[in-house]
């Protein structure tokens, strides 16, 4: 719980910095393109706000648990309505952030693969299934991180783990599709365009892999550990959620903005 609380607030600082950088990139965007990027800018702030809400709610809950453990009143604290509300708020913020993040990735994949929409069938089906699992998970009313300490029902554990793994699967699959398309376009255009333009594709792939690989690896590890019921899963879960919000990093990076204008060439 100590590590989880500290990790959450460190991640808040990182998210605020990234959100500020995103805003600066938005400010430098040409006026004619600002209007189409306003929704992405709004989503960046929504993701950051949701993470702050999640981290603060978790911090209050964990602080109360640690104090109650010292006073040997942990069961009384866990049974309070306020504790259940904070856990619900934290879980809801986590689920909504995951849905928004994967939705942004799917939109990026659609922009790149718009000429071959059949490629998106599997990712979209997995995405919709993950949303269904998240709804069932929220209805169960138990936070995935709190299962070990609160003794969640088998149904809650099953829905939570299913949502977790499916969310990671969507991210991994969509990121792979985007990277494949960009690398393929890079190979086809290498003999036509100059090296600086071709380098744009390499830069975009590097950004995607850098942002998505830790998210995917931590998600798989957290999903397995959560399924096994180990208490250490809370640290992996918090790290996974922090990287989930980092998805806003590649909403407005300069290479990606350049690459948007090149997708039609591929």
Number of domains in the chain: 1
Which among 244, 100, 234, 224 is positioned nearest to 172, based on CA atoms?
Answer: 244
The answer to which of 2-6, 25-29, 202-206, 218-222 has the lowest mean pLDDT is 2-6
Say what angle helices 233-245 and 2-27 make with each other, to 10 degrees. 10
Q: What is the pLDDT of residues 172-198, one digit of tens each?
A: 888 888 878 877 877 777 767 677 766
CATH number at residue 102: 1.20.1070
**pTM given for the model:** 0.72
User: Collapsing DSSP states into helix, strand and coil, what is residue 190?
Assistant: coil
Alpha helices in 80-153 (DSSP H): 81-112, 121-140, 147-150
Range of the domain at 252: 2-265
Q: Is 192 exposed, middle or buried (0-12, 13-18, 19+ CB in 10 A)?
A: exposed
Three state DSSP letters for 26-86 = HHCCCHHHHHHHHHHHHHHHHHHHHHHHHHHHHHHHHHHHHHHHHCCCHHHHHCCHHHHHH
The pLDDT assigned to 69 comes to 59
Q: What is the pLDDT of residues 238-265, one digit of tens each?
A: 666 666 655 544 444 444 444 444 444 4
Q: What is the pLDDT of residues 17-76, one digit of tens each?
A: 777 777 787 788 777 777 777 877 787 788 778 878 877 777 776 666 666 655 556 555
Return d(Cα 122, Cα 128) in angstroms, integer.
10
The pLDDT assigned to 72 comes to 59
């Amino acid at each position: 719980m100590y590590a989880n609380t500290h990790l959450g607030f460190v991640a808040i600082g990182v998210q605020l910095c990234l959100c500020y950088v995103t805003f600066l990139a938005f400010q430098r965007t040409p006026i004619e393109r600002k209007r189409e990027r306003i929704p992405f800018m709004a989503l960046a702030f929504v993701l950051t706000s949701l993470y702050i809400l999640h981290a603060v709610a978790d911090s209050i809950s964990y602080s109360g648990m640690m104090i109650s453990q010292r006073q040997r009143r942990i069961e009384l604290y866990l049974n309070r309505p306020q504790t259940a509300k904070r856990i619900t708020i934290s879980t809801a913020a986590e689920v909504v952030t995951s849905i928004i993040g994967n939705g942004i990735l799917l939109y990026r994949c659609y922009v790149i693969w718009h000429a071959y929409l059949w490629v998106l069938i599997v990712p979209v089906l997995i995405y919709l299934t993950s949303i269904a699992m998240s709804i069932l998970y929220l209805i169960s009313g138990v936070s995935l991180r709190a299962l070990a300490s609160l003794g969640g029902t088998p149904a809650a554990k099953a829905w939570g783990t299913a949502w977790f793994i499916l969310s990671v699967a969507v991210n991994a699959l969509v990121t792979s599709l985007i990277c494949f398309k960009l690398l393929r376009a890079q190979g086809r255009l290498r003999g036509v365009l100059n090296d600086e333009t071709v380098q744009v594709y390499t830069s975009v792939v590097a950004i995607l892999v850098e942002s998505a690989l830790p998210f995917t690896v931590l998600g798989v590890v957290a999903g397995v550990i959560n399924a096994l019921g180990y208490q250490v899963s809370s640290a992996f879960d918090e790290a996974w959620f922090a990287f989930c919000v980092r998805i806003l990093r590649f909403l407005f990076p300069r290479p990606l903005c350049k690459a948007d204008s090149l997708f039609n060439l591929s």
